[in-house]
Amino acid sequence: MNTRRDFIKTTAVASAGLSLASAGGLLRAPDTVSATSSNLAVRRLQADLAIVGGGMAGVCAALAAARNGARVVLAQDRPVLGGNASSEVKMHIVGADCHGARAGTRESGIIEELRLDDAARNPHRCFSQWDLLLYEKVKLEPNITLLLDTTCVSCVTAGGRIQSLTALRNISDDVFEISASFFADCSGDGRLAVEAGADVHTGREAKAEFNESLARDVADRHTLGSSIMFTGRRLDTPQPFIAPSWARQFTKDDFKHRPINSYEYGYWWLEWGGQLDTIKDHDAIRHELLRIALGVWDYIKNSGAHPKAANWALDWVAPIPARRESRRLLGPHILTQHDVQGGKIFDDAVAYGGWAMDIHPPEGMDVPGQPPFTPTGLAQVYTIPFRALRSRNIANLLCAGRNISATHVAFASARVMATCAVEGQAIGTAAAFAVRDGRTLADLDIPALQQQLLKDDAYIPALNNSDPADHARRASVSASSQQDAAPAAAVIDGVARDLIGQWGAWADQRPHHWASTQLPAWLELDLGAPVTVSEVHLTFDSGFQRELTLSAGDWATTHCVRGPQPETVRDYQLYADGELIVEEHGNWLRKRVHKFPRPLTVGKLRLHITATNGHPHARVFEVRVY
């Protein structure tokens, strides 16, 4: 059994603060607060799911669990959410569509909601605005208690289960003891997992261990390195740069494999530290990366090799490194090169990836003669099984993010943030289902979990909507007009996206949406007989053929629409047997769920679309009725 740190030994008990209550929401009821020998207050919280780590995986896990009725505590050790995507690091989110190169495979679900909100509300690409969007989504969700600046320091286990975790928030002199039915490690570093005694692994496996051709002949503990990003700003006059004495010095030979093509956004290949312990040697890695970043900018400004940089000034340098790799949990299944490269479709698939197996030399900038990455591209996407998102020896521990159960080679694909985000949505939903159904993670109803993920607009390759509660599946569909390749009936064919492109041999390579020939347009579902309706789900087109990400890089933004996506339906009305029940203006989201306080008796539903955000035709992927 793990024990709590000595500094949280309690000496008194009082009442104050915040606690979690029923699945219906948070109640402002007393929690237990104790004083400690070091004058820290100990606050006891109870939840269905406690999450460590507020990067994209943790944020999506918290939102998914809360929206499915679970009580959540989310502890993030930084002052902002988003992890490597936050304003502290400014790394753009990439995923299966490989910067748009694999058109159509962009992730849906919660990560798409966040991207669409950001594009519409933050066209000027401010990362602080992105921070605030994530904060808003989490903070205003009534089923989530958010603890920023809060670090997991220990936990208590018994019988192969975590009973509680202890987290420290120095900024407010608080210690939190968080009890929960389930726990999720979304820290990237396996912070909770190691405290719980979960099986973990660090480093690169040998070829023989999993018969991976891209693995090394001999195993070691090296990892991918870390990077420190920077941004530049162009001014009207020449801007000098005086490098500090401790900056590294570089010559032209150092950039043989590392081209400098622009100055507004410094370079992912500015990497170092994988030959060290990326956790224990954090300070040394950060210092050396700062030396490298300043040295690279010095080369740009003062070597004479980049005269076009004369008017550019160094505008921002990240305060912390973007860490790529450290510990990985070990689950009942370990994702391997064979799974990734072969486009494996697992029976318990809950997420998917498609980024190349993107392996970097651990030494980064110390080996200028080597390419900064060796990507092995994938011919199709692959799925990620639920068994790779839970611990194999701690029964109530989930994981999502770069610390999932995978070999180093497979991790090199699955580590990117959009993939981490859809993993997060999967485990948050799984935890909510386990609580609701009184099940363990090992005996979870996987088909029901998969169907809920589809209902919540996540996508699982080769899986269709088969929800028996969806009245729309039995409806007959008509429309004011339809294009030949995009008939009205497509909105109930069970697939809420087009499968054209590099999905895999299982994909039917045809559209799965209705498209009108003109605007305004209407789409009608005849339910056959009057039914009781509490919710209507609408899924619109949001331009999956393009990349969509927040980036400080002009080159990445060129491929994006920084605003509402033109294909997305903007203004619409929903009628039940001729009666107006919903009217929306200014929509930019792909998935809209309309819930009715009092259930309606409905025989026919008509969606009337008057405008999109710029496209001349209405496009709808799916209608669900509950």
User: pLDDT tens, 362-405?
Assistant: 999 999 999 999 999 999 999 999 999 999 999 999 999 999 99
Distance CA 100, CA 547 (A): 5
Which of 469, 557, 569, 589 has the alpha carbon at shortest distance from 523?
Answer: 569
pLDDT score, position 99: 95
Give the domain 471-625 fold: Jelly Rolls (2.60.120)
Q: What is the mean pLDDT of residues 608-623?
A: 98
Mean pLDDT of the chain: 94
Rounded CA-CA distance 293/298 in Å is 9
Q: What is the pLDDT of residue 36?
A: 55
Whether residue 351 has pLDDT greater than 50: yes
Q: What percent of the chain has pLDDT over 70?
A: 94
Judge residue 515's burial from the number of C-beta atoms within 10 Å of its C-beta, 0-12 exposed, 13-18 middle, 19 or more buried. Answer: buried
- Exposed (0-12), middle (13-18) or buried (19+): which is 22, by Cβ within 10 Å? exposed
Model confidence at 29: pLDDT above 60:
no
Sign of CA dihedral 329, 330, 334, 337: positive
Confidence (pLDDT) at 3: 37
Distance CA 558, CA 546 (A): 10
Q: Is the pLDDT of residue 465 over 50?
A: yes
What is the per-residue pLDDT for 13?
Answer: 27
Residue 185 — φ and ψ, nearest 5°? -100, 100
Residue type, 23: A
6 pLDDT exceeds 70? Answer: no
Q: What per-residue confidence (pLDDT) applies to 221?
A: 98
- Work out the average pLDDT over 584-592: 98
- Average pLDDT (269-279) is 98
**Which one, of 285, 308, 303, 298, lies nearest residue 365 by Cα?**
285
Give mean pLDDT, residues 348-370.
98
pLDDT band (50, 70, 90) for residue 35: low
Q: Is the peptide bond before 371 cis (omega within 30 degrees of 0)?
A: no
Spatial distance between the Cα atoms of 290 and 288, rounded to a whole number of angstroms:
5
Confidence of residue 32 (pLDDT cuts 50, 70, 90): low
β-pair partners for 154 = 166
**pLDDT of amino acid 24:** 32
Asked if residue 87 has pLDDT above 80, the reply is yes
Token match 């107006």: residue?
580
Task: Please give the pLDDT value at position 2.
Answer: 41
Q: Are 207 and 66 in contact (CB under 8 A)?
A: no
CA atoms within 13 A on the CB side of 455: 22
Look at residue 1 in the predicted model and tell me its pLDDT: 41
Assign 382 to helix, strand or coil: strand
Q: Is pLDDT of 79 > 80?
A: yes
Distances from the Cα of 357 to the Cαs of 57, 353, 424, 498, 513, in angstroms? 20, 10, 21, 25, 32
Instruction: Show me where the domains of the chain are located.
Output: 6-88+108-196, 226-323, 471-625
pLDDT at 39 (0 to 100):
82
Question: Would you say 189 and 403 are in contact if contact means Cβ atoms under 8 Å apart?
Answer: yes
Q: Which CATH class is domain 6-88+108-196?
A: alpha beta
- Which residue in the block uniquely carries the two structure tokens 């936990």? 155
Residue 529 near residue 577, CB atoms below 8 Å = no
* Res 28 pLDDT > 50: no
Beta bridge partners, 579, equal 576
619: pLDDT strictly greater than 50: yes
The Cα diameter of the chain in Å comes to 79
